[in-house]
Every structure is written in structure tokens, then in C-alpha cells.
Amino acid sequence: MNVTAEELLKNSIIPPSHRTMGAEQSADVEHKHLDLGSTVVPSPVKQKARMDDIVVVAQGTQSLRNIHNDPDVIKLQEIPTFQPLLKGILSGQTSPSSSKLEKLDSQNVLQLCLRYQGHLHQCAEAVAFDQNALVKRIKEMDLSVEALFSIMQERQKRYAKYAEQIQKVNEMSVTLRRIQMGIDQTVPLMEKLNSLLPESEQLEPFTMKLEKETK
Amino acid sequence: MASPEPQPRFGQSVKGLLSEKVSCCSGDVIALTRQVLKGSRSHELLGQAARNMVMQEDAILHSEDSLRKMAIITTHLQYQQEAIQRNVEHSKNLQDQLTHLLK
């Protein structure tokens, strides 16, 4: 029956303190709950209310806990308060209090950027200056190396000529040695021959002399 | 910095709005840094310096080549110097040899 279903639902869903609602409201609530009930409890209308179906909301029997001793609660309280990231947009509101969102101060940001730009410029200039100085030094080095190289090449050519001429000394000594050897070999033979000749035709003993007149 | 007002798009969650704002901000920051770098002309200056350096590479190679040749020349000079020294010493003996021969 409808009455029993209504009573059942009233007892279970609506807490006892709310039974003093206005007639209209209660009727609305009942209708709503009836709709709910029609989907939730598809039982036949003639079901009687049993003791098991009645749910009573009463005061709890738990003792009051001292919340300030709980370490978790203390930790929660230690969390600092903060503003939401997107200020001015409160969830649930159709239009925020002021359409202005949090923005940076443009002038200061501009100054910061300009300072950074100037810093970069100075650094780049310093580096470029040093590089150009290096380039100049390289050019100078190249010129001096070329000059040195040409000097050394000239010197090497001259000394090659000198050395070649000095080598003649060596050749001369070789020739002289050969002459000496030849003379040493031939002079005894000549003397021998000379001794075999009759005394009237003997030549004077052989000596090497400097000829002063070569005519 | 154009930040699109999120009010008209209230169908999205706050998380969506936040991510959109973040991406917008990061894009703006990237554009700002690019402008700062361009304004400081550091790229141009450093590029010019690098180009100058590269042009000197040829000169550097030439110098290195010359230095290597100079090293070879020094060895030649060393040989010649030794030869000259030896022969100069020998010239004294030569004098004696000559006098001995002419005796």
C-alpha cells in the first residue's frame, strides 16, 4: 500500500527532526522520494514494514577525541595558507569579482629584460673584441714567420755555397796525399835509375820546388 | 601580452584553464627571451668574430707550413756547419802537408 511505503521511506530517509516541515515541502519531498523509492525498491506495494528496514539516526556513542593532540591535525594546521593560482576565478561563480587577473608589473619586467639585454651585449662585445685582437696577432705572427723563413732560406743557400767551396779543401788534401804517395813511390825508382846512369849524366836529386818563373 | 580571459569558457575545468594559462605564459616568455637575444645583437657580433677567425685559418696553415720548412732548413744548416768546421780544421793539416811535400 502506498501509505506503508510512504511511512517506510519517511522513517528511513527523513530524520526525525525534519518531520515538522511545511506540508507542501513534505509533499514535494515525498513525491521525490517516492520517485526514488519506485526505482530503488521495486517491491510490491503490499509489503509491510519490518523492524529490519527501519533505520534510526541517533547520537553516536563515541567519546570526544581531543583533536589538538593528533599529529596529523597539527601537520595539517602547519600548512601555510596560499592563494589559488588563478585568482579572480572562483569555481562555481559565473562572473568573477573583478575580471582583472594577477599580472606582473610591466615596467619592472621591462627594466629587468633591458638590463639582461645590456649584459648580453657587453659580454658579446668583450668576446668579439678579444677575438679580433687574436686575429690581429695571428696576422702579425704570419708576417713575422714568413720574414724569418725567407731569411733562413737565404742563409741556407749562402752556406750551401760556402760548404761546397770548403769541400774543395778536402779534395785538395786527397789530391795532395795522392801526389805524396806517387812521389814517394817514384822518387826511389828515379834515384835508382839515376844511380845506374854514368856519373856525367846523373841528374841532381829530385826535390819539389816552387817555381818562381813559370815561363 | 594577450592573456585570453577565461570567463567565457567556463565549461572547462580549472585544471584545463590552468594548463592553458601556463602554456600561454611559457609561449610569452619564449617570445620575450627571443626578443632580448635579438636586441642584444650578441648573435651578430659573435658570428662576425667567428667568420673573421675562420678567414685566418688559411694564414695559420701557411705559417705552420713555413715553420715546418724552417725546421728542415735548420737541419741542413747544421750539416753544412759541421762540414765547414771539419774542413777548416783540416786546412791546417793541409798546410803542413804542402810544406812537407815541397821539402
Q: What is residue B3's DSSP assignment?
A: P
Which segments in chain B show pLDDT lower than 50?
1-4, 6
Interface contact B97-A176, CB threshold 8 A: yes
Q: Tell me, what's the ipTM?
A: 0.70
**Half-sphere exposure at residue B99, Cβ-oriented, CA atoms within 13 angstroms:** 5
Say which of A103, A156, A163 has its CB closest to residue B73: A156
Q: Please state the pTM of the whole predicted model.
A: 0.53
> CA of A79, closest CA in chain B: separation in Å?
22
Quick one: which of A139, A133, A120, A136 has its CA closest to B45?
A120
Say which of A96, A160, A173 has its CB closest to residue B80: A160
- The cell for A158 is 749562402
CA distance B3 to B6: 9
Q: What angle do CA A36, A14, A4 make, to 5 degrees?
A: 65
CA distance A197 to A190: 11
CA distance B57 to A138: 9
Determine whether B6 is exposed, middle or buried from the number of CB atoms within 10 Å of its CB (0-12, 13-18, 19+). Answer: buried
Q: For chain A, say whether B78 makes contact (Cβ under 8 Å).
A: no
Q: Which residue, chain included where needed, has cell 770548403? A: A166
Contacts of B41 in chain A (CB under 8 A): 121, 124
CA distance A147 to B10: 81
Q: For chain A, say whether B3 makes contact (Cβ under 8 Å).
A: yes
Q: Which residue, chain included where needed, has cell 502506498? A: A2
First to last CA, chain A: 175
- The cell for A9 is 521511506
Interface of A with B in 127-166 (CB under 8 A): 127-128, 131-132, 134-135, 138-139, 141-142, 145-146, 148-149, 152-153, 155-156, 159-160, 162-163, 166
Q: Print pLDDT tens along chain A (215 aa).
A: 444 545 544 555 444 444 444 444 444 444 444 444 444 555 555 667 677 888 888 887 776 667 678 888 888 888 988 877 666 655 555 444 445 566 778 899 999 999 999 999 999 999 999 999 999 999 999 999 999 999 999 999 998 898 888 888 788 888 888 888 888 888 888 888 888 888 887 777 777 776 654 43
